Amino acid sequence: MSGWIRIKNVFTQRYEGILLILPWIVGFLLFVSFPLFYSLYMSFHSVRITGNGILTEFVGWKYYSNILFQDGGVFYDQLLPFLRQVLFMIPIIVIFSFMIAIMLNQKFFGRGLFRAVFFLPVIFSSGNVIQRFLSQGRGELGFLEKYSISTALTQYLPASWSMPIVTVLNSFILILWYSGVQILLFLAGRQTISSSVYEAARIDGANPWEVFWKITLPAMMPFVLLNTVYTVVDLFTFPGNPIIASVNPTQYGPTSALIWVYFIIILLFLGLVFLVLGRAARGTTFTR
């Protein structure tokens, strides 16, 4: 009897979590890891769907070399410009949402109203609606046309860099629309800094400028990292991402290879982000 109880105790101490986590693990194997490996498998095979089932034939690196060396249309003309565009969009989104979150954190009249407005993008930015705004040019900033900034840019920069910048500027408002969740994350993060730190700094005679750079910014670095990662992940679904359009269930092999090229670029990119920001942000959600 006591043995049974001891076994039960050991079980509850070490394995009680299994009961709750098991569904998630099963789901992970079924809906994430299996498709992931199968997609890697398909990228090396030509896949044909027949009445009797799925026929695959090994083709080696053929699709990858097609994408990278022979027929680089999608990769060099669509994907790389998009990634260059993303390179500009990420800092804009992160800095903008940081500023807004710091402002929304102050106490002032009408704060509730402003907060409500600034969460609206979460509703709009994920749907088809935003594509409609994009296609009707609702994302443009008026002054760009007025001072013909885009023509100046195209004159002074090589085309491969000026084009993405012009595209980014032309859809500037919509990029700001994509910062809804990031504002939320920063606002939640700002709550974690206790007000006594600020009081102590004020008693020691630090001016507001110093307080921002020495206290607020360092304490918020983990959230900068988190938001950068979130933004990179979120931009997978940004309208105008060429990968979305090119994934269609007709050519399984070549498409899988293209997605893996894209995925590896994203992973490298995220690795870079972690390397640069991770040092500045010890003890984030991800490392803890």
Binders in 154-173 for other proteins, by CB under 8 A: 173
Q: Which one of 6, 8, 31, 76 is in contact with other proteins (CB under 8 A)?
A: 31
Cα 264 to Cα 44: distance, rounded to the nearest angstrom: 16
89, 171, 255, 257: residue in contact with other proteins (rule CB under 8 A): 255
Question: Could you say which residues in the range 65-84 bind other proteins, by CB under 8 A?
Answer: none
Interaction of residue 152 with other proteins, rule CB under 8 A: no
Among 13, 50, 52, 148, the residue binding other proteins under the rule CB under 8 A is: 13
- Distance of closest approach, residue 154 Cβ to other proteins, in angstroms: 25
Site for other proteins in 100-119 (CB under 8 A): 100, 103-104, 106-108, 112, 114-119
How many chain residues bind other proteins (CB under 8 A)?
A: 95
Query: 157: helix, coil or strand?
Result: coil
User: By CB under 8 A, is residue 194 in contact with other proteins?
Assistant: no
> Judged by CB, which is closer to other proteins: 38, or 61?
38
How many angstroms separate the CA atoms of 14 and 76, rounded? 52
Backbone angles phi, psi at 106, to 5 degrees: -65, 160
